[in-house]
Structure 1
Amino acid sequence: MDTRVTDGKRSLSGSLGVGSIVFMVVAAAAPLTVIAGAVPVGIALGDGAGFPATFVICCAVLLLFAVGFCAMSRHVPDAGAFYTYVQQGLGRVTGLGSAFLALATYTAVQLAVYGYFGAAVQALIVHYGGPELPWPAYSFAALALVGVLGYRHIELSSRLLGVLLVCEVAIVLVFDLVVTARGGHSGLSTAFLEPSEIASGSPGIGIMFAIASFLGFEATAVFRDEARDPERTVPRATYLALLLIGGFYTLSSWALVSAWGDDEVVKQAGADPGGILITSMTHRLGSVGGDVAQVLLVTSLFAALLSFHNVVARYAFSLGNSSALPASWGRAHTRHGSPHLASLAQSASALVLLGVFVAAGLDPVTQVFAWMAGTATLGVLVLMALTCLAVVVFFRRTKADTRPWHTLVAPVLGLAGLCACLALTVTNFPLLIGGSHGLALAIGAVLAAFFATGVVLALARPDAARALSRQPHPTQSHMEEPV
């Protein structure tokens, strides 16, 4: 058993390699769900047949973010991810505000997926002649199973996520290969290579949906305590996850466009955004392929639920260790080496919030999913922008790493790109959550309130998160930085 677990029970145990962490974060991105849901909407409302190029643009911005994020990862020994970076660079008060914003952000995206999952399972069972049970029954059942898996050792979740991820990616890649080999109605699309097509329609909306599709890749640092060799594993997993997600989204969205043709895909995506992928797969792979894709869409959503649960639980665990949340949440299970109490707390909060949505009679897709996904998109962009700024300030102040590209140029360029994406998201935010400007303001106020709660806690309790304010040893050299 890992000594970190038995000695004080304040650290998590595990030996996750690059592959396991990549599985965890790519599963959180729910790639099949993105291709089935976000891509058709991006095509219909964004820049049409040029939409695949927006994934390339967003991936480039996030790679710039990742350069500074990874350079700083070896100087941040704690597993709190965003907020530990912000705290090291911008101070304890801003850091703790970011911590509470992160809790709200990842809780929101998990609630979004619970809503979508319940609706997807309900539709699947009814489609095959089963009983039409209410969608919350399936969401609450998933919540219970996720709670059990989150309570146990991380390796169990990693293995399950690996299997589900391979299956969902495989079915889409088969579709991609068939379209590439046989061509579409008008051959293979080249619109994503033409600047006029990329800039057509509403490219700002396209970028907004594309950047939202990457949500979850940055969670690699959350698993630092459970990584086999965190100084090498975390940076490698971050780059690999980002490149795999970006490449998969670009290829698969291009295949969907090619399958229908540049003009027809816009019409089909607008007419049936939720069903165009399954229809396309049925046409190309037969009825069996369409049926398999429907089932894997459900498993994709479950994989995302489990992955985001693990992320939130580890945020709460880290905050418990730093006295910002109950200290008991910062204890690891003696046998499983898991954040079991933080995991239970996360399950309880999800149960209560999901119960409130059900009692309010909200639609699982157009309201629960749309509102919470919009909330998470806005929150994570703010967190990444703060992290980029923290990287620049940290290295300017400490001189722990003096490489210009890693510590200044790339983070500043990433910050500029993220601020542009944030501006586009704020401008188009009402569309992302159903068109209500009042609701958009309310959601923004909720996120601001969570950030303010962390700030107030930091000011009122000087001991909160103080343990995370360690500075790197001045002799640490950038020559040791892993690639």
Structure 2
Amino acid sequence: MGLEQRTLTVPALVVMIIAASAPLTAVAGGVTTNYAVTGMDSVPLSFLLIGAVLLVFSVGYTAMSRHIPNAGAFYAYVAEGLGKALGVGAAMVALVSYNLMQIGIYGMFGFAASSFSNGLMGTSIPWWVMALVAWVVVGFLGMNRVDFSVKILGFVVAAEFLVVIIYNIMAFSLAPEAPQPEAAFNLGDAVAPGMGAVMAFTIAAFMGFESGTIYNEEVKDPKRTARRATMIAIIIIACFYAFSAFAVAVGEGASNVMGSTAEFGPDLLFVFFSAHTPAWFVDLANVLFITSLFAALLAFHNVIARYFYSMGRGGALPKFLARTSRTTHAPVAGSLAQSLLAVVVILVFAVISTGKDPMYIVFTMFTWMTNSAAYGLVLLMALTSFAVIGYFIRHRTKDSVFTRVIAPLLSGIALIYVFAQIVVNFDLLLGMEEPGMLGYILQAIVILPGLIGWALALFMRSRTPNAEPDQDILPVVSTSQH
């Protein structure tokens, strides 16, 4: 039994994509950290630049979804475009990266939920208790119909947008200095020293935008839904985050934004609300910050469950991972596998963090894992860009030259540049003042499974030397059919 329910519409898929990017978390955490660490005024511009790159990327990427309707997305496209062995490697990198992203968010969720609850009720609940509560709920929802998750995520995402919009309005209304759009959106800064670090931080806020094609077996119109939803989501994320990043600079004052973000970090928005709004609104904003993290947990869980399903169906992982529910059609085996991985990591960090400062879990589990995930996903996007070109060279279609060659080539070059910036600034992303072994270890955790998968696939192919060039000698690449 497959995933085919055909219930997801364009608006529903847009909600799923935006939920993964966690708007309130991205603005409160990502934007403020970007200002504080890089010291660049052009953080708002970086969202428009990255948004433009990802829009160009999505032209070829979503075109592939019309020809390869597979829940494995990245790995299925790389397999078809650059070869089956490389597809196996991409599959492993994708699975590790998405799990790092999802599980890392449990650290921030646990910290935020326990801090808020303890401050409100005077308790001393540890972070991991709250993380396990979220883990139970996410696991339950992950085994139910995907449109049920959409209803919950829709409410959460709408509330997040509302809070950030209120902040933006107040920031402009109470601005201590005149706004300086010429500094925030100076195109000359696109090639300025330091802009690479800004982009390395910024692209992390978009992670999850590519998940639209993963649901292509569950949308009402496989030819159009994923394409439209992905592009709409990118435009919304890029424009909304750019304006909100500018609002942060306006609300604090251009001359003070670096100092304020360095002092308060992710608490900056809540400090601002504390000074200008009633206490109940501050509490509400905190609750929505927590639900924003929960929405991202659920969105990424659904993505990973479908990756397990697709890889199990294709043969890259044990076949039992391709099992779906007879009643909900959800990939229950994949959902359970992701939940098992998550609980193991939560419990390990629960032991490690015992007796340490509450922020320890944010600086380690959250920061290490989510930035490592961004590293892997940007690499996969660059590979996928060239895979698009490879696929269309081998398959004659009615797609335009821009779709088949120009757009993927431009996005591939741009994404290689962004990936290089992530590598160069990786220690900075981890919050380390000097390069150290930690950065190399975390990058290896992402890359090594891919190299091992690629090498094993090549070994398997070498054992069938008489196979035809286009013969399916690697079981993983049952990509086009289900």
Do they superpose with TM above 0.5? yes
1:467 aligns with 2:478: yes
Distance (Å, rounded) in 2 between the aligned partners of 1:140 and 1:396? 48
Q: What does residue 292 of structure 1 align with?
A: 284
Contact 1:110 1:309 in 2 (8 A): yes
State the alpha-carbon separation in 2 of the partners of residues 67 and 413 from structure 1.
11
Match runs of 1:326-341 below 5 Å? 326-341=318-333
Range 240-249 or range 359-368, more displaced? 359-368
Higher mean C-alpha deviation, range 38-47 or range 302-311: 38-47
Counterpart of 2:372 in structure 1 is 375
- Conservation of the 8 A alpha-carbon contact between 2:189 and 2:195: no
Following superposition, the deviation at residue 440 of structure 1 comes to 0.9
Residues 396-448 of structure 1, C-alpha deviations (whole Å, 9 max, x = no match) = 22232452211111111101110110111000001111325201111121212
Structure 1 position 394 matched with structure 2 position 405: no
Give the RMSD, CA atoms, in angstroms: 1.8
Cα drift, residue 384 of structure 1: 0.1
- SS state of the match for residue 141, structure 1? helix
Does residue 69 (structure 1) correspond to residue 61 (structure 2)? The answer is yes
Q: 1:195 to 1:324 in 2, by over 3 A?
A: closer
The 5 Å alignment of 1:10-409 reads 10-180=2-172, 182=173, 184-190=175-181, 191-195=183-187, 202-361=194-353, 363-401=360-398, 403-409=400-406
Distance in 2, matches of 1:201 and 1:91, equals 37
- Deviations for 1:56-75, whole angstroms, at most 9, x for unmatched residues? 11111111111111222211
In structure 1, list runs of 5 or more residues that go unmatched.
Answer: 1-8, 471-483
Alignment of 1:404-443 (within 5 A): 404-435=401-432, 436-443=435-442
Residue in structure 1 matched with residue 470 of structure 2 by the alignment: none
Mapped to 1, the partners of 2:278 and 2:424 lie a distance apart of 41
Q: Distance in 1 between matches of 2:230 and 2:106?
A: 26
Structure 2 CA distance, aligned partners of 1:346 and 1:460? 28
| Inter-partner Cα distance in structure 2 for 1:345 and 1:444 | 23
Note if contact 1:401-1:407 (Cα within 8 Å) is conserved in structure 2. Answer: no
CA gap 1:88/1:201 in 2 versus in 1, 3 angstroms: closer
C-alpha displacement of 1:195: 4.2
Give the aligned partner of residue 447 of structure 2.
448
What SS does structure 2 have at the residue aligned with 1:105? helix
Cα distance, 1:294 vs. partner? Answer: 0.9
Give the corresponding residue for 1:473. Answer: none
Conservation of the 8 A alpha-carbon contact between 1:324 and 1:464: yes
Contact 2:35 / 2:258 at 8 angstroms: preserved in 1? yes
Measured in 2, the distance between the counterparts of 1:52 and 1:204 equals 14
Q: Distance in 1 between matches of 2:274 and 2:192?
A: 30
Q: Calculate percent identity across the aligned residue pairs.
A: 34
What is the CA distance between 1:451 and its match in structure 2?
0.3
- Partner Cα distance (1:183, 1:295) in 2: 24
Q: Is the 8 A contact 2:67 2:480 kept in 1?
A: no
Tell me the secondary structure at the aligned position of residue 225 of structure 1. coil
- Which piece of structure 1 moves more, 72-81 or 215-224? 72-81
What is the CA-CA distance between 1:283 and the residue it aligns to? 3.4
Matched residues in 1 for 2:117 and 2:174: separation? 33
Change (3 A) 1:198 1:457: closer
For residue 145 of structure 1, report the CA deviation from its aligned partner. 0.8
The one-character-per-residue Cα deviations of 1:45-96 (angstroms, maximum 9, x if unpaired) are: 2253321111111111111111111222211122211111111101111111
Alignment-mate amino acid for residue 267 of structure 2: G
* 1:272-305 deviation line (CA, Å, top 9, x unaligned): 1121111223334443332221110000000000
Decide which moves more: 317-326 or 295-304: 317-326
More displaced stretch, 275-284 vs 346-355: 275-284
Superposition TM-score, scaled by structure 2 size: 0.92
Q: Give the direction of change, closer, same or farther, for the CA distance of 1:157–1:418 in structure 2 (3 Å limit).
A: same
Change (3 A) 1:17 1:37: same
1:395 to partner: Cα distance: 1.2
Q: Hey, what's the Cα distance between the residues in 2 that align with 1:227 and 1:457?
A: 34
Do the aligned partners of residues 148 and 15 (structure 1) sit closer, same or farther apart at CA in structure 2, a change above 3 Å counting? same
Cα deviation for residue 44 of structure 1 reads 1.6
Distance in 2 (alpha carbons) for counterparts of 1:205 and 1:122? 32
Q: CA deviation digits over 1:317-350, x for unaligned, max 9?
A: 0111112212122122110110011111111111
Q: How many Å apart are 1:225 and its aligned residue?
A: 1.1
Is the CA contact (8 Å cut-off) linking 2:79 and 2:477 kept in structure 1? no
Equivalent residue, structure 1, for 2:466: none
Match of 2:5, SS state, is coil
Distance 2:231 2:305 in 1: 23
Looking at structure 1, the residues matched to 194 and 82 of structure 2 have their Cα atoms a distance apart, in angstroms, of: 35
1:107 to partner: Cα distance? 0.3
CA distance in 2, matches of 1:77, 1:198: 36
Could you say if the C-alpha distance between residues 268 and 372 of structure 1 is closer, same or farther in structure 2, counting changes exceeding 3 Å? same
Distance 2:323 2:120 in 1: 45
Between the aligned partners of 1:160 and 1:402, the Cα distance in structure 2 is 37
CA contact (8 A) 1:204 1:424 kept: yes
Query: How much has 1:210 moved relative to structure 2?
Result: 0.4
Distance 1:153 1:469 in 2: 24
Contact 1:97 1:454 in 2 (8 A): yes
- Counterpart of 1:480? none
Measured in 2, the distance between the counterparts of 1:397 and 1:449 equals 29
Q: In 2, Cα distance between the equivalents of 1:76 and 1:210?
A: 30
